[in-house]
Amino acid sequence: MDLPILDITILAGSYLLGSLSSAIIVCKLMGLDDPREGGSGNPGATNVKRLYGNKPAAITLAGDLLKGLIPVAILNVMGMSPALVISAGFAAFIGHLYPVFFGFKGGKGVATMLGVMFGLSLPIGLAVAGTWLFIAKVLKISSISALVATLLAPLYIHFLSGEPSWVAVTMIMTIILYWRHRTNIMRLIRKEES
């Protein structure tokens, strides 16, 4: 079955919103070097913090989170179908990972996925964010907190909403996110992750 024009427009718009790299835009506006040229080379909040400190990192984090939150929350408030809601979140997530405006080389997707979770519902977002913050506080390793929080996200959705399409698409996002973190995972296995 063909997707209606409105659905295609929504998904395309969500992808384009996700393609706006907060890290690159924030650093440019603040007169800082491109974060892809230093540190880990990843255009995300963690690398921006490593290179330039808390303020640009916090703005980057907020921007990446909003990219996932905005389309999902708007569609949810409008009463759109759950499948379209999560599909828009997935499109924004893919836009962040593979941004059309920046040579399809984007971040790892944790903050944007978290934004999607908050867009689905406040309890889901708080559960994922709480897990992320708790693990980060205890272990002080950013990648582990992200990996644990996103691994548990489909489970939280199952118990807090029961919407099968949300669970399924979130599982796909988690698998992709783990793939994007494969070098971090290898460093964790070798106990080399900072």
Could you read off the pLDDT of 155-194 as tens digits, one per residue? 999 999 999 999 999 999 999 999 998 888 888 888 776 6
Could you read off the pLDDT of 14-28 as tens digits, one per residue? 999 999 999 999 999
Query: What is the domain range of residue 34?
Result: 5-189
Q: Is residue 81 part of a domain?
A: yes
**Domain count across the chain:** 1
Residue 143 has pLDDT above 90, yes or no: no
- List Cβ neighbours of 1 (8 Å cut-off, separation of 6 or more): none
pTM of the model: 0.91
Based on the number of CB atoms within 10 Å of its own CB, is 160 exposed (0-12), middle (13-18) or buried (19 or more)? middle
| Cα 67 to chain centroid, rounded | 8
pLDDT band of residue 3 (cuts 50, 70, 90) is: low
105: closest CA among 166, 164, 21, 189? Answer: 21
Q: Is residue 109 part of a domain?
A: yes
Residue 68 has pLDDT above 70, yes or no: yes
Q: Is residue 194 part of a domain?
A: no
Could you read off the pLDDT of 69-115 as tens digits, one per residue? 999 999 999 999 999 999 999 999 999 999 999 888 898 999 999 99
- Amino acid (1-letter code) at residue 76: N
Residue 8 has pLDDT above 50, yes or no: yes
Q: Is residue 161 part of a domain?
A: yes
Residue 1 has pLDDT above 60, yes or no: no
Q: Is residue 105 part of a domain?
A: yes
